[in-house]
Amino acid sequence: MKTRRLYYTDSLQREFDATVVSSEVADGRATVVLDQTAFYPTSGGQPFDTGRLGEGRVVDVIDDDAGEVRHVVDTLLAPGARVHGTIDWPRRLDHMQQHTGQHVLSAAFDRLHGVRTVSFHLGSDTATIDLAREVTPAEIARAEAEANRVVWEDRSVTVRFATDDEVSQLPLRKEPVRSGLLRLVEVQEFDLSACGGTHVPATGMIGIIAVAAWERFKGASRVTFVCGGRALRAYGQLRDAMVAASRALSVAAPDVGATVERLQADAKELGRTIRRLQDEVAVGRAANLRAGAEDIAGRLGVLRHEPGWDAAGLKTLASAIVREPGTIAVLVGDGTPAPVVIARSADVNFDAAEWMKQAAGSLGGRGGGRPELAQGGLGVSPERVLAYAKDTLK
Ligand SMILES: [Zn+2]
């Protein structure tokens, strides 16, 4: 026996009474079939309703192959029992706003631009439609405006049933995928589609249809949209983010983008200036450090903790030190892990990259480079890095 689907003819019905036809436990899930139900099962891109059945909760609703609606419940009910069902209304209303909004938006794309909707997905935060070709931002804006005009005209949304023969004479937006008796959803003088979903009774209840994002792929487009309550929540999130950004930048909201671009350009310029200054300072500092170098196995060794130099600066400094022959430099900066640079003069036979690999293995951290210069980050204090260098470079 097929379940009588109350939501087919009255999508606003939140409560109902029914008789349990059968119940079973399979794969650890208790399912109940009723003679009639207002619970919508997952199908046609729209997720299931949740709510209460008797004392228990409905956690999933499945449309099975036999045409029965299976309620997955946390409390099993005996066959023959009379139960009262209540659906979770905020969730259902949200699904109806998105689903009817989808019909209107898809029809707007179809009527204005001749673009077919290939598929519809209703997720927990946003919904998407896939369109049969790439659409431009201007086409999206026009379809969005047209869809909202239809929302604000508060047009009726009605449901009727028709046979295949009758349907073949009707201007349906999309070829129906099923045969037999079809359920048709009509947005007054705007859209006619075969659909089993729940819909608001008039378009005004959608509230608003807002396109949130779009992407083009393989000659098609995916449009992400939010309707009704979701649009209001999305607006609130954007507003909060924008208020925070404009406060942090001390500019009006419309100027946030340009201000961030300017700050990024400034930061780039500052970085260039710092590198130029480091190059200049490195030359003088390198001469000082070479003057105080110690003898390490017959070579000039500069083993130094240089606070205030970042990894790039240490590299510049080390390169300047080893420009003179016969020198090895190991420089350690501040940070966790500590930035370490090792470099040698062209005439010194020593593999800096190999040393860095060994040091990372012994002291913890990572690093690499070329035989003449290597850098890394080591997980110990500068003093320990330098003591290790002294031991291993002998
Ligand atoms: Zn539909």
Q: What is the Å distance from ligand 1's center to 175 Cα? A: 13
377, burial (CB in 10 Å: exposed 0-12, middle 13-18, buried 19+): middle
Q: What is the Å distance from ligand 1's center to 105 Cα? A: 11
In sequence order, the β-bridge partners of residue 226 are 210
Q: What is the Å distance from ligand 1's center to 231 Cα? A: 19
Q: What is the Å distance from ligand 1's center to 35 Cα? A: 25
Q: What is the pTM of this model?
A: 0.75
Q: What is the Å distance from ligand 1's center to 100 Cα? A: 7
Residues with CB under 5 A from ligand 1 (ion): 195, 197
Q: What is the Å distance from ligand 1's center to 261 Cα? A: 43
Q: What is the Å distance from ligand 1's center to 99 Cα? A: 6
Cα dihedral 15, 102, 62, 181, rounded to 10, equals 90
CB 126 within 8 A of CB 225: yes
Would strands 4-5 and 36-37 be described as parallel, antiparallel, or unpaired? parallel
394 residues of the chain, pLDDT tens digit each: 689 999 999 999 999 999 999 999 988 899 999 999 999 999 988 999 999 999 999 999 999 888 899 999 999 899 999 999 999 999 999 999 999 999 999 999 999 999 999 999 999 988 999 999 999 999 999 999 999 999 999 999 999 999 988 888 888 888 877 778 899 999 999 999 999 999 999 999 999 999 999 999 889 999 999 999 999 999 999 999 999 999 999 999 999 999 999 999 999 999 899 888 888 888 899 999 999 889 988 889 999 999 988 888 899 999 999 999 999 999 999 888 889 999 999 999 999 999 999 999 999 999 999 999 999 999 999 999 999 999 998 7
Q: What is the Å distance from ligand 1's center to 195 Cα? A: 4
